[in-house]
Amino acid sequence: MEQSGGPIRPKAEQPAANGSEPAVSTPPTVQNVGPAELPTGTDEPAASARILEIRERINEIDNALIALWQERAALSQEVGATRMASGGTRLVLSREREVLERFRVALGADGTQLALLLLRAGRGPL
């Protein structure tokens, strides 16, 4: 039966059914759980197959987002270091406002929150 709720954990991590042995602790990494072993949340085969297909694309998108996030943070740090090494300021608030506004216009209030996290990733906490 598919798992319907609660934490999603690989089988190896779950306690023994009879409760007599302590569970072998495996860190909950994505590496040790193949996509087909993760519950789709439905027992209907066609729906389940479609969900797995969509998840492949979601994983591609997430990987691209992670790579872009890291590239942006590195570039932002380089700008800060270049500016400070040349006697300039670490931050330029007018430019940060422009970034925040672009995300707000495109994505609404969540865009503002996302942009705040992006800006923080580039310069560290204030």
Distance CA 49, CA 5 (A): 19
Q: Which of 38, 51, 79, 116 binds ligand ISJ (CB under 6 A)?
A: 79
Stretch that binds ligand ISJ, among 2-10, 22-30, 52-60, 76-84 (CB under 6 A): 76-84
For residue 40, which of 7, 3, 13, 6 has the smallest C-alpha distance? 3
Work out whether 112 is an interface residue with ligand ISJ (CB under 6 A). Answer: no
Q: Which of 38, 99, 114, 116 binds ligand ISJ (CB under 6 A)?
A: 99
HSE toward the beta carbon, residue 56, CA cutoff 13 A: 6
Contact 58, 107 (CB under 8 A): no
Work out whether 123 is an interface residue with ligand ISJ (CB under 6 A). Answer: yes
- Our CB check for ligand ISJ shows the closer of 50 and 97 to be 97
DSSP-based three-state secondary structure for 96: helix
Distance CA 10, CA 34 (A): 9
- Our CB check for ligand ISJ shows the closer of 33 and 91 to be 91
Where on the chain is the footprint of ligand ISJ (CB under 6 A)?
A: 76, 79-80, 91-92, 95-96, 99, 119, 122-123
